[in-house]
Amino acid sequence: MHRIDLSALEHLSIWKLYQWHWCEHKPSATISIREAEWLKVGAWVWDNFDTISGISFLPYIDHSYKQAPYQEIFKDEYKEWLNKTNENVDWSLISEYEKEDMTENTKELACVAGACEIL
């Protein structure tokens, strides 16, 4: 399913369904709002204000702003990119890329023992 298939209110209804019946915490969602939907979305937020958190609202535009979180891609485009990406990878050497766990945890803990660092 793509954002083009849903109105903002339909997407919010799905978010609320997950919130009430699937998630114990607050699921996050990025809602793309078309020009004609802003007032209805505002009313929905007002009516659901005690329930919502973790929702980002962005204008439904064709990524004309910096660092847009998502870009639509359809199955054919995905397969094309996947083929281009994989053609230069020798998967038989995958075990040679990392010999040991190179994961680095955060050096400083922002929240410890019930207190959080204030910057």
Show me where the domains of the chain are located: 1-63
Written as six digits, the tokens of 55 are 């929702």
Determine contact, residues 18/27, Cβ cutoff 8 Å: yes
Residue 88 has pLDDT above 80, yes or no: no
pLDDT at res. 31: 92
Nearest alpha carbon to residue 25 among 53, 56, 46:
53
pLDDT at res. 119: 60
Q: Indicate the average pLDDT of the chain.
A: 83
- What percent of the chain lies above the pLDDT cut of 90? 29
pLDDT tens digits for 29-74?
Answer: 989 999 999 999 999 999 999 988 899 998 887 666 676 666 777 8
Alpha-carbon Rg for the chain in angstroms: 20
Q: pTM of the entire structure?
A: 0.57
112 strand-pairing partners: 115
The number of beta carbons lying within 10 Å of the beta carbon of residue 54 is 13
pLDDT at res. 107: 63
Q: Beta 111-112 vs 115-116: how paired, if at all?
A: antiparallel
Backbone dihedral angles phi then psi of residue 115, each to the nearest 5 degrees: -130, 145
pLDDT band at 8 (very low <50, low <70, confident <90, very high): very high
Q: CA 33 to CA 27: how far, in whole Å?
A: 18
